[in-house]
Structure 1
């Protein structure tokens, strides 16, 4: 079926082709055909022929829906570009569904693929969480997830006792067909939408996160011992490290201590680093109930006010936690570094340790950074050890930066909540030398373990981060050129991560630092787990894995078992065992990547919710802020506490403003006032929408706009109405595109939007006649033809605002590759995932807080803002009625 001269075949032709003669074989053959057809692996045509999807111009993948109705197909074939799907072509498919899409065309704008859903292979959404609305004889559930943009119809017999205004969980019993709505029934009532605790519970149900462990899982956890007996240590033959000066360094309230470290200077001047990770795999055996539950959960989820753990506390806080001054089983990775920070010798082995101290980041920082006399005196016997740790960590970091690792230094926020779940503060977290020590040590161990087992050719799970998409990189390079920066390419225009890190260093402390860092982040792919080692672009690492957090991440737990099995068998796994492990690894990698994505979405949702709630009682108050993103519908402002809010164009009442995407700026039509990313502004909190968890700001000293003020239209520059007469001619130096929009009834001069573009071009030093990329060259600094309005295929319109429905590559906001150790919730990477390199998230404050990377410039509000006025499919303007 996959030969070059391809033609779909009937089952009789397939029977003949495969030489099936036996009746029982034929019966099994038909069963297999039906199964493959149900899974979407093959297609049954209208003429009753079986074909292979990719040979029929069909692409299989996961649907990523947008609140505005359109969607993108994320293909299973990683080399295939994303496919834009208009709302009319979804065929009732919903967010997350596995679908088959026929690629129908390329968009005129950027050559992006467009397609239509031809078959829904697997439904991802089985339940909907939302507010119940009672209409007497029937009801509706209004979904919390705005990507489900149609309400769920509930017949009267499906009310389940729900009353108007209650948050409920409804099961879908009939999926939508044509124009009919999906039908459901209420299966759980969470409480009234305004009741305390219902908000977080709704998010838990929305993402179908597990809570309580099943009884059989808890029974297995209860069988774990409370302590390790000496006879067990002798029997296993583990290397005894109990006399070493080994410590843990964690947040003040962390209970699941799964990593410990030690350093020593050797007689030859080299430094030996030991990273010792709790041997969780020894207690969680393969295929046990505990293992199956951990596989299903994938990782621990750190919400604002609680933690949903991957393993029961009996294990994570008990026998698997490296508590001070008690014996614990570990897997150790010892590395010897020379002066150039090269690993000249390493060893990976099973061990038993007894940590000397349970240190906190705060106290290590006080010793090394603040030289606090009281704390220094208290830990006097460890001060020299910490100083050596600092020396090694700084050298490792320097070496990593020199090789080209990309280090996004975004600020991290933590929402503090009280015992009732009410947010009482939002604080930013310092990145001190204590966190850097653990970050660098975990990175080193992860790389060493990954390379060791890669060369052993043992089935394994790696953490990979693929090279950025070439087109996205080219767009990014064109974007930074507007600010006067250049990114040097390598062979065949391939970018080395070192070039991006150099740019990050060049923009340090500048106004454009935030926008360039954010746009760089969005040009990259998401990190994920894979059975093949293809390297980690962001870390500039040839080999990388996740080894250091087996309590909180399932891939770490899996490779721990593989490592111990290889050690105990002296590397001689049987062929059958190798085949079995190889058959499981890709499935585990895919499941773990998916569970991680869900965890990140849930964590982001709860932080967004509590940040909005925190600002509820601050409506009317004024704050200084910085413009963090500019879009076609307004601009996002970030406050000192990392809260972001939107100032809509309709609230900017001193002028009509036009969006200049190339320079990420809003330009006043009458005053020529320019607002750009990085500008400092003073805002007032206008309103908080707790349904969408969004915040609206308004500029201080701007009065409400009067009807008809400034003569009508929004200006030709934004692709909508021109300011003047019907289809006014472009002004001098203006864009011909300006005259394309149909005019409003205003008295403004024609083509003024184009003039504004020229003003900005002059201000930026773009030069007379410089046109936007992809457009025709304009005159005297005017915008290029076709540059007016939002360039919907761009990364900005896609990831930043979601305005309009033009085709472009799909984006989840910021990519998920966080480069930090992830310990304590810290990552030097991104909001999406702070789990690359080490320990992953850690709860603090008795589960009363969560640590999250701050979202991308407008990531909190992706899809939440207004669409650009007069936009329609394909990005062309249309006259408002």
Structure 2
């Protein structure tokens, strides 16, 4: 058939466009250039544009961010998540690529942080000719799905309009609010904004105010704003709450009768002082040289049946959110703190993994059973640590603990011995222990921050971690070999670019690290052992963690790099993690003989989607938690402007250096504030070097800083070096208001301060208020 036979005029012209774009000499062109090439008259330009639009929507051709048309080249087209930067550029994370793709600010194609996008990689940035040390580069071709439809931020009014500065700084742009769309918000109000457009041709995104949350000066309001920014659920529906109430307050006798009865066993829970959702308990007894370790997990799936209102709500939430001043639970409190929580003295339904463990930390045998327990003791990490390491306690506290828990001591010591054996076995195979310092926030009744200190990860927290790890591994291996559909916790090898970046950091710190193709967890384990006890230990631990891929859920068993395990799952927290709840259902159907081909096919078709969704929800929860921590640190340091502390240089770039304080607060010293010399950034040494006197600031150096300023909107703290400090006379914008004493405003040197109780009491008396 000759071209045109059986084809209408539009189809012929579409083919002509496709033939042009497929020509070997063709370079991407704009519509006007194609029009000129075909000799199309101006009056027919609209028809050409219609053809180009139809071909683009149909996926036959694509339009680049600069408006040029080309054929899709599958090899260089990828779908991923756009991660924005406040400076305007960003990166696209693509799961199957060894590195992220850099997107210059002028090639973002209107994408905002969090969007799912189609990205075209520039072949010259990814092939054999790629320059050493350079990232892959590309451009956003199309925004496939918007990450945010609503945002929260601080409102600023102007004449006849206003704008919102988003709380998520990676959005990178303000939101324009037109006349009559502000709901009468005032400058400084924390608001929820609905995005009506996302900005095109250099325009800002536009929106309208949906709700005024309150003053941006309130910690409680700001945390609420973060939960709204990330779309975290606020309330349970009446249907969900009603279903939770029907679960009752007691365990039915008929259910007890058919289970393994462990009510007479010595079973204890060990958790934080404030924890109310107790989903794991442990027991132990020693028989000969072996330990029989029982890990007993709340049987949430007995109450939350598949596709019930409770189940669909739990799947929507994916996880519980722990945000310092509040918990947003995955399940209603009637379950999470009630019938499912392993409260002392109360009968509770559980799934038990009971393991026989030898002196080398090997599981010799195990059984997984439906069970019923009655927890004997509700203990805290602090009390257990005091009993196992009495030197930690004051004499009176030591005496109180030993008197109260005298009968438990032999059991706790057996647990500590078993945990030490498991830990040694884990280290022997090369598992990495990311034991870096985390922040613990102490709040006042009004939600303001009273104190930030390093979280105490003690012998008791490690003991429970060791027991949960071995239970998760045992369950994963057991059901892998049964060949049933299952959810696994997967952790892949670090990507090549991340290891190169880590190697650069370590070289600057003079740490031996041999970069090789087939990296083993033991390589990183040895590195962390080398850093242990040194001032820069926490920095190196964080560097190693950042070099890792993020763990995720998968319906394929892909192993866990960080733990150096072939099999791993999440079995131990069904009250607060949906994947755990999901695999409990599978386990129970197998244990009770309800498993058949239909159920096999059902879960085989469902689990991949559950894995993707819950992994995304987990990342969202992590980002929200990080934002809350950064916010609280900014609020806390606002009360310490003008005070000086010693910290460690934790990062260096061409704009200055980051300094981390012992309480985990990190601030930035701008290079422009280093007045004693002209400093330049040396990337090879990760250092700032003075041109005249050759003074250097390197990763891991101890420096004395002064808290200079705080920006709560951006959640950042500005430092200056102590000897360079001249405090500002005025704060502006949304930065902290005037806080400094007169002598500090007059440009005198700030006082050096330690965060001691005595200093705090003096400051509270001087300021005449009860918070810092």
TM-score above 0.5, yes or no = yes
Deviation at 1:240, TM superposition (A): 0.7
Q: CA deviation at 1:196?
A: 5.6
Measured in 2, the distance between the counterparts of 1:213 and 1:639 equals: 40
1:80 Cα offset (Å)? 5.8
User: 1:430 Cα deviation (Å)?
Assistant: 2.1
> 2 CA distance for matches of 1:704 and 1:167?
32
Give the aligned partner of residue 630 of structure 1: 652
Measured in 2, the distance between the counterparts of 1:547 and 1:53 equals 43
Question: Given the superposition, is the C-alpha separation of residues 261 and 667 from structure 1 closer, same or farther in structure 2, using an over 3 Å criterion?
Answer: same
Question: Which has the higher mean CA deviation after the structures are superposed, 683-692 or 385-394?
Answer: 683-692
Does residue 118 of structure 1 match 2:141? yes
Q: Take 2:501 and 2:141, find their aligned partners in 1: how far apart are those partners?
A: 32
Quote the offset at 1:445 in angstroms: 0.3
Q: CA deviation at 1:373?
A: 3.6
Counterparts of 1:226 and 1:499 in 2: how far apart (Å)?
A: 51
Matched residue, 1:859: none
Which one of 107, 128, 142 corresponds to residue 151 of structure 2? 128
The structural deviation recorded for 1:377 is 2.8
Q: CA deviation at 1:342?
A: 0.9
Counterpart pick for 1:83 among 80, 94, 101: 101
User: For 1:349, what is the secondary structure of its paired residue?
Assistant: strand
Is the 1:165–1:192 contact (alpha carbons within 8 Å) kept by the matching residues of 2? Answer: yes
The 8 Å contact of residues 653 and 703 in structure 1, kept in 2 or not, is answered as: no
Matched, 1:64 2:115: no
Q: Which residue of 2 aligns with 1:218?
A: 241
Partner of 2:110: 92
Deviation at 1:113, TM superposition (A): 2.0
* 8 Å contact from structure 1 (residues 42, 53) kept in 2: no
Alignment of 1:263-302 (within 5 A): 263-267=284-288, 269-302=289-322
Pair 1:206 & 2:229 matched = yes
Secondary structure of residue in 1 paired with 2:338: helix
Q: Name the residue aligned to 2:675.
A: 653
Task: Please name the residue that 1:343 is paired with.
Answer: 363
Tell me how far 1:162 sits from its aligned partner: 2.5
CA offset at residue 203 of structure 1?
1.0
Name the residue aligned to 2:262: 241
Distance 1:483 1:187, change over 3 A: closer
Distance verdict in 2 for CA 1:44–1:161, change over 3 Å: farther
Q: Distance in 1 between matches of 2:297 and 2:484?
A: 20
Change (3 A) 1:503 1:64: same
Does residue 43 of structure 1 match 2:59? yes
Query: How far apart, CA to CA, are the structure 2 residues paired with 1:423 and 1:299?
Result: 26
The answer to whether the 8 A contact 1:65-1:147 is kept is yes
Q: Which moved more, 1:224-233 or 1:292-301?
A: 224-233
**Preserved CA contact (<8 Å) 1:514 1:678:** no
Contact 2:154-2:713 within 8 A present in 1 as well:
no
Task: Determine the C-alpha separation between the residues in 2 that align with 1:181 and 1:686.
Answer: 32
Change (3 A) 1:121 1:261: same
- In the TM superposition, what whole-angstrom CA distance separates every residue of 1:574-627 from its partner, at most 9, and x where no partner exists? 222212211111111111111111111111111111111111121111222222
Match of 1:254 in 2: 275
Question: What's the offset of the Cα at 1:254?
Answer: 1.4
Q: Which stretch of structure 1 is more off in the superposition, 542-551 or 521-530?
A: 521-530
Deviation for aligned residue 1:112 = 2.8
Counterpart secondary structure, 2:138: strand
| Separation in 1, partners of 2:275, 2:458 | 18
Deviations 1:263-313 (A, max 9, x none): 11114x211100000001111111111111111111111112111111111
C-alpha separation between the residues in 2 aligned to 1:196 and 1:324?
Answer: 35
Q: Distance in 2 between matches of 1:660 and 1:514?
A: 23
Is 1:684 the counterpart of 2:706 in the alignment? yes
- Higher mean alpha-carbon deviation, 327-336 vs 102-111, is at 102-111
Residue 228 (1) aligns with residue 228 (2): no
2 CA distance for matches of 1:286 and 1:703?
Answer: 61
Task: State which of 440, 444, 469 in structure 1 corresponds to 2:470.
Answer: 444
Q: How many residues align?
A: 663
The structure-2 alpha-carbon separation of the partners of 1:46 and 1:555, relative to structure 1 and needing over 3 Å to count, comes to closer
2:50 corresponds in structure 1 to: none
Which residue is 2:544 aligned to?
Answer: 520
Q: Which moved more, 1:596-605 or 1:96-105?
A: 96-105
Is the 2:191–2:213 Cα contact (8 Å) retained in structure 1?
A: yes
Once the two structures are superposed, residues 411-436 of structure 1 have per-residue CA deviations (whole angstroms, 9 ceiling, x without a partner) of 12211111211101112222222111
1:464 is the counterpart of 2:485: no
Aligned to 1:322: 342
After TM superposition, the score normalised by the length of structure 1 is 0.72
Say yes or no: does 1:552 pair with 2:571: no
Partner SS state of residue 172, structure 1: strand
What are the Cα deviations for residues 402-460 of structure 1, in whole angstroms up to 9, with x where unaligned?
Answer: 11011122112211111211101112222222111101000000100111111112111
Write the distance in 2 (CA, Å) between the matches of 1:279 and 1:346.
19
2:380 aligned partner: 360
Rounded Cα–Cα distance in structure 2 between residues aligned with 1:187 and 1:392 = 55
Please point out which of 367, 372, 375 is paired with 2:401: 375
Higher helix share: 2
Does the alignment pair 1:668 with 2:690?
yes
The answer as to 2:633 corresponding to 1:611 is yes
In 2, distance between residues paired with 1:615 and 1:79?
Answer: 40
CA distance in structure 2 between the aligned counterparts of 1:202 and 1:335, rounded to whole angstroms: 45
User: Are 2:173 and 1:150 equivalent residues in the alignment?
Assistant: yes
| Structure 1 Cα separation of the partners of residues 580 and 523 of structure 2 | 31
Please, which moves more after superposition, 184-193 or 148-157? 148-157
- CA deviation map 1:139-180 (0-9, x unaligned): 322222222222222222322333333221111122322223
Q: Is the 8 A contact 1:275 1:333 kept in 2?
A: yes
- Cα shift at 1:484: 4.4
Give 1:687 deviation, angstroms: 1.2
> SS of 2:460's equivalent?
helix
CA gap of 1:688–1:531, structure 2 versus 1, over 3 A, is same
The one-character-per-residue Cα deviations of 1:480-500 (angstroms, maximum 9, x if unpaired) are 34544433567xx30110121
The alignment partner of 1:615 has SS state of helix
Give the one of 576, 596, 604 matched to 2:618: 596
Deviation sequence 1:695-723 (CA, Å, 0-9, x none): 11122222669xxxxxxxxxxxxxxxxxx
In the alignment, is residue 310 of structure 1 matched against residue 336 of structure 2? no
Q: Unmatched 5+ residue regions in structure 2?
A: 1-10, 16-52, 64-69, 392-397, 728-772
Quickly say closer, same or farther: Cα 1:676–1:489, change in 2 above 3 A. closer
In structure 2, what is the equivalent of residue 73 of structure 1?
92
How far did 1:526 drift? 1.0
TM superposition score normalised by structure 2: 0.82
Q: CA deviation at 1:686?
A: 1.1
Q: Do the aligned partners of residues 111 and 424 (structure 1) sit closer, same or farther apart at CA in structure 2, a change above 3 Å counting?
A: closer
Larger CA deviation: 514-523 vs 465-474: 514-523
C-alpha contact (below 8 Å) 1:477/1:486 kept by paired residues: no
Contact 2:154 2:189 in 1 (8 A): yes
Q: Give the distance between the partners of 1:703 and 1:65, measured in 2 at CA.
A: 33
Contact 1:686 1:698 in 2 (8 A): yes
Moved more, 354-363 or 441-450: 354-363
- SS for the counterpart of 1:456 is coil
Deviation at 1:59, TM superposition (A): 1.0
| Cα 1:243/1:327, change in 2 over 3 Å | same
Cross-structure match for 1:879: none
Query: CA deviation digits over 1:638-678, x for unaligned, max 9?
Result: 22222121111111111111222222222111211122222
Q: Is the 8 A contact 2:439 2:453 kept in 1?
A: yes
How far is 1:92 from its partner? 0.9
What is the distance in 1 between the residues matched to 2:182 and 2:509? Answer: 57
